[in-house]
Structure formats: C-alpha cells, structure tokens
Amino acid sequence: MQQLKAQFLVLNAAGLTAAAHSLKSSSANVGAMGLSALCRDLEALTRIEGASVDDSCEQLVGLVEAEFDRVEAALLALRIELGEAAAKSLASD
C-alpha cells in the first residue's frame, strides 16, 4: 500500500500499475477479493498506453486505501481471536 500511494503521489502511471498488480495478487492470496478487484481495476486503468494519473486514478486509490484499511483491521481482529483461542487451548491442557 505504501508503494502504491508513493507512486500515485509522484504521478507515475507505470509505477502505479506495478504496485496495483502486486497488491492485487497479495490481497487475493489472503482472500481479500474486494481489495484485489479494486487493484485489478486500478491496474487496468493505468496500464493503458500513454495513461496518466488523473482524477479516476485518485478516486480508485482512495477506494483501495479504504478497503486496505478495512482488510487490515479484519486480519488483525482474526489474529487476536486466533491467539486467544490458542491461549485458551493451552490453558485447558
């Protein structure tokens, strides 16, 4: 996400394409399909020859960032939940 935002801030369409591609794959690997789909859309938008970073990109980057934050919070909650379950399991042994 940091790389994607950095490439957006410097208006680098090629860099934004690469960052969106990477985040698309990583998010799909953890089951964050909504995030992956947004990254796919951003990747497609910036992959067009001669593409520039414009208002459409800005809107999609905002959506990606919001979804990333939601996914990050959900994964953190799951991590805490699994940690508590493991601790209870060890305590009962």
Tens digits of per-residue pLDDT, 37-65? 999 999 999 988 778 888 889 999 999 99
Q: Taking the domains of the chain in order of start, what are their residue ranges?
A: 2-92
Mean pLDDT, residues 18-36 taken together:
97
Residue 92 has a pLDDT of 73
Name the amino acid, one letter, at 79. Answer: R
- What's the predicted TM-score (pTM) here? 0.86
